Structure 1
Amino acid sequence: MKEAFGATPSFLLWLRYSTFLVMYPIGISSEVGLIYLALPHIKVSEKFCIRMPNKWNFSLDNFYIAFIALGIYVPGSPHMYRYMLSQRKKALSKSKRE
């Protein structure tokens, strides 16, 4: 809207920066829940795992990568949420000044 018409209606700007308040926690919790529920299947299937010996002398286990992802999501999600709140505050306060 802004690129086409030069301005964005205030309700669309508010909607853009406010829907994450509900959608973000739902998205993060569903991703974490799905990773957690998939862990037993990942361990049994060993899909996309690289076992040694191979020509690269390298081993990779997808089960542990999923644990690392959980370890990043859990402490990282509050930080990302606070960042989005600050972006919302900045964008909505800028629109009120204009």
Structure 2
Amino acid sequence: MTTPLTLTTGRRADGTPRLSVSGEIDMSNASALAEALDSGSGPLVVDLTAVEYLDSAGLSVLFAHADRLELIVTPLLGPVLAVSGIADLATVHHLGGDGAQ
């Protein structure tokens, strides 16, 4: 059974918009992520620490906005972003084992 995609908007303490994403991102729901990213402009922090699965459709959406994204990821997604090349285009912060970030 797949985990539904949940998107929650907010702001960091410094006022930067933040999008928290949880569940699975795949071709069935990547359009919802695209809409959320398309709805704003300027820098955006995207917290992917609760994402359990990310396929090429989700990667494609992230690529389209990579130049303005600051991604927060777990060790599960870090290699995917590195191999795909997104880590070269977006700022990526790897959530440490101590939960820092």
Q: TM-score range by the shorter chain?
A: under 0.3
TM-score normalised by L of structure 1? 0.22
- Structure with the higher helix share, 1 or 2: 1
TM-score normalised by L of structure 2? 0.21
- Structure with the higher strand share, 1 or 2: 2
Greater relative contact order, per chain length (Cα 8 Å cut-off, separation 6+) = 1
